[in-house]
Amino acid sequence: MSKPATAVLVCFLVTAGASGQWLETTLYLPDSCGGMTRPQCLAYNSVNNTTYVGGENGNAVVAIDCATSRKVARIPTASSVRAICCNPQDNKVYCANWNQGSVTIIDGTTNQVLTTVLVRDWPSALCHNPQDNKVYCANSGSDSVTVMDGASNQVLTTVHVGSLPGALCYNPQNNKVYCTNGNGGSVTVIDGATNQVLATVGAGSRPSALCYSSQDNAVYCPNSGSDNVTVVDGATDVVLATVPVGDWPRATCYSPQSNRVYCADESSGTVTVIDGATNGAIATVTVGSEPRALYHNPQDNKVYCANSGSDDLTVIDGVTNDVLATVNMGHKPCALCYNSQNNRVYCANQRGHDVTVIGGASNEVIATVEVGVDPVALCYNPQDNKVYCANRFSDNVSVIDGVTNQVLATVDLGLWADPVALCYNPQDNRVYCASWFADEVTVIDGVTNRVLATLSLEDEEPRALCYNPTNNKVYCANASYGTVTVIDGTRNQVLATVDAGDQPCALCYNPQNNRVYCADSTRLVTVIDGETNQRLANVTVGFEPIALCYNEQNNRVYCANYAGSSISVLRGAPGIEDFPTNIPDDHPPTATIVRGALILPLTAGRGRLASSTLLDVSGRKTLDLQPGPNDVRHLAPGVYFLRREVSRQTQKVILTR
């Protein structure tokens, strides 16, 4: 089955206030300090014994009390916090905002933002020089290091280093700053007093992190491409040793109490512990998925490991190397529906492979139901009081009892069906299931849970469904062409096709206003008239909206934002006319290759690029990608495909030597 590599993209804009549609509130998950996902950096503030965690999504930094391992604050930043460091002299926390090219400075006492300093392209690392009270910021996109004054927050100078600088650390004994050059396989040494380059030291393939050992006056540099750690003498800048570690070492930190170096192995899901005296590996600790950042807490002798893939934080004992705790950062909620009989809200958790049941009156979790692999959509059958859950990677639909919260049946859809959406037809008591990869809509009987029919939608990539009881219509959002197909609920025939923005991925219906809401893959919800099939409004919500549901008791639409780990609540006033205004077509970000790096840029006003993977011609995943430069020099020349995980958009990429 062939899939088009490009899609026709149509966007439009309507003033939300004029249409009577606006965002009422946003709920962060799993609590008020949540909403930040894919944690990738952290730093320890010794002044107040607090660890700060930054992530790829959510535009925020989460503060964790080290004594209790509990979250105490959520601090707003710009998008994609790539690095954090602390200045104990002024009790400030610095956050490098990758997408904005800036550094957010936070007051360590109040956890309030003090200011934002503009630096260069793609800031990716930070460190503090206590002797001169300077903060250094490595800018991967401009091959430079920005030097800021720790007291005044002013930029002092910019130092040019090697290609793709990605990590920094400070040597207090010799007052030196070290900077890795990802594309050069080297480390640049900068004089802390004069800001002049002193030396360039050869390392392994793709050096990715740095840390300093005070007892041995040595610098440790993990090399992601060669799966080892280079040890550099702090006085002479000579390589002392090379230590083998796990797959794709990504981060490192040092414990002066135990004289140990910890190395996070991203692909292995482990942390390698290295003896600082012998430079030999002494232990391997299993942590979460894709560990990307480490930090040591000297007060309690604990090591904190941020696991981007599992959205959690592992706490390791600095003496025994045992795991003490795991702090959850987000559940990746991706679908919602409402049970009017029992006043319950159901939330499908893609990471947890389960469905959370929330009491509508108490707003408390009352049950957790295990379903299939990768649940991504939900719908409710009021006639039989059932909840249906589409499980993407197990190719089936779980049927849940609305009273007992028990699974009643599992409906098989066939191999490689890839179900992604559901809706219910009360007139005929049918459930419709859209299967993305199979290009099909399956019709399930609401009483018997048996398949009644399968409708083929060749190359449409159906992504979402909803039902209009007023006109007995079924709406199907098609990711390939940026449209919504309107289907007659009785005859299962197409009535109309409506343009619906960039990669539409979710739908729901408002019976009070006879409107259909369609969320696209950027940050917009399109409002469609149920009678005329005309576009009425466009409402901005959170990052990567992926699911919608309607609450008839208070006339609210709830939008689950995948990347933002949040829920947007839309409030609508009935009876107000909406007038669409067309704007020029908007095209998705295009990947480019510069100096051996596959770069995923952002488009203004659209937030970050969705989580992406690079596939070979057979469809096998070869690399997880993120916004900014991704090293592809180790891949063989040939044809590859870049795929966005949420919208499933595919782009052809050709690698040459």
Q: What CATH number has the domain bearing residue 441?
A: 2.130.10.10
Q: Is residue 7 part of a domain?
A: no
CB neighbour burial string for 117-139, b if at least 16 within 10 angstroms, e if fewer:
bebbebbbbbbbbeeeebbbbbb
pLDDT of residue 123: 95
Q: What is the pLDDT of residue 278?
A: 95
Are 576 and 611 members of one domain?
no
Q: Are residues 285 and 404 in the same domain?
A: no
Q: How far is it, in rounded angstroms, from Cα 210 to Cα 262?
A: 11
The closest of 613, 606, 626, 616 to 655, measured between CA atoms, is: 616
Q: Do residues 288 and 309 make contact, with C-beta atoms less than 8 angstroms apart?
A: yes
Last residue of a domain, one of 561, 582, 603: 582
User: Residue 342 domain-assigned?
Assistant: no
- 134 and 245 both lie in a single domain: yes
224 in a structural domain = yes
Instruction: Please tell me the total count of domains within the chain.
Output: 3
Closest CA to 10 of 478, 585, 497, 504: 585
Burial of 620 (0-12, 13-18, 19+ CB in 10 A): exposed
- Are 562 and 619 found together in one domain? no
The Cα 435–Cα 454 span in angstroms is 10
- 601 with 501, same domain: the answer is no
Strand partners, 451: 444
Distance of CA 367 to the CA centre of its chain: 26
Is 339 a domain residue? no
* Tens of pLDDT, residues 298-330: 777 888 888 877 777 888 999 999 999 887 655
- Asked if 511 and 538 touch (Cβ cutoff 8 Å), the reply is no
Question: Do 314 and 397 have their domain in common?
Answer: no
CA-nearest of 403, 375, 396, 378 to 388 is 378
Q: Identify the domain boundary among 526, 555, 582.
A: 582
Q: The domain containing residue 185 runs over which residues?
A: 30-328
Burial 525-542 (b: 16+ CB within 10 A, else e): bbbbbbeebebbbbbebb
Judgement on whether residues 307 and 404 belong to the same structural domain of the protein: no
Residues with pLDDT less than 70, the chain: 1-32, 35, 328-332, 363, 564-565, 572-596, 601-611, 617-619, 644-652, 656-657
Q: How much is the pLDDT for 255? A: 93
Q: Please indicate, yes or no, if residue 347 is contained in any of the structural domains.
A: no
Residue 238, class by beta-carbon neighbours within 10 Å (0-12 exposed, 13-18 middle, 19+ buried)? exposed
Tell me the CA distances in angstroms from 377 to 178, 323, 392, one per residue in order: 48, 34, 9
Q: Give the residue from 249, 335, 231, 342 showing the smallest Cα distance to 290.
A: 249
- The reply to whether 501 and 562 lie within a common domain is yes
Model confidence over 549-579: pLDDT tens digits?
A: 788 778 888 888 877 667 888 875 432 222 2
- Is the CB of residue 66 less than 8 Å from the CB of residue 300? yes
Q: Are residues 528 and 619 in the same domain?
A: no
How far is 77 from 52, CA to CA, in rounded Å?
A: 12
- d(C-alpha 606, C-alpha 512), whole Å: 31
**Residues 569 and 634 grouped into a single domain:** no
Q: What is the pLDDT of residue 220?
A: 97
Specify whether 535 is located in the same domain as 647: no
- Kindly state whether residue 349 falls inside one of the protein's structural domains: no
User: Is the residue at 529 inside a domain?
Assistant: yes
What pLDDT score does 602 carry? 47
Number of neighbouring beta carbons within 10 Å of residue 521: 27
pLDDT tens for residues 384-442? 999 999 999 999 999 999 999 999 999 999 999 999 888 888 898 999 888 888 888 88
- The answer to whether position 357 is within a domain reads no
Pair of tokens at residue 364 = 């408390």
* Strand, coil or helix: 121: coil
Instruction: Tell me, yes or no, whether 404 and 549 share the same domain.
Output: yes
Question: Which of 537, 556, 582 finishes a domain?
Answer: 582
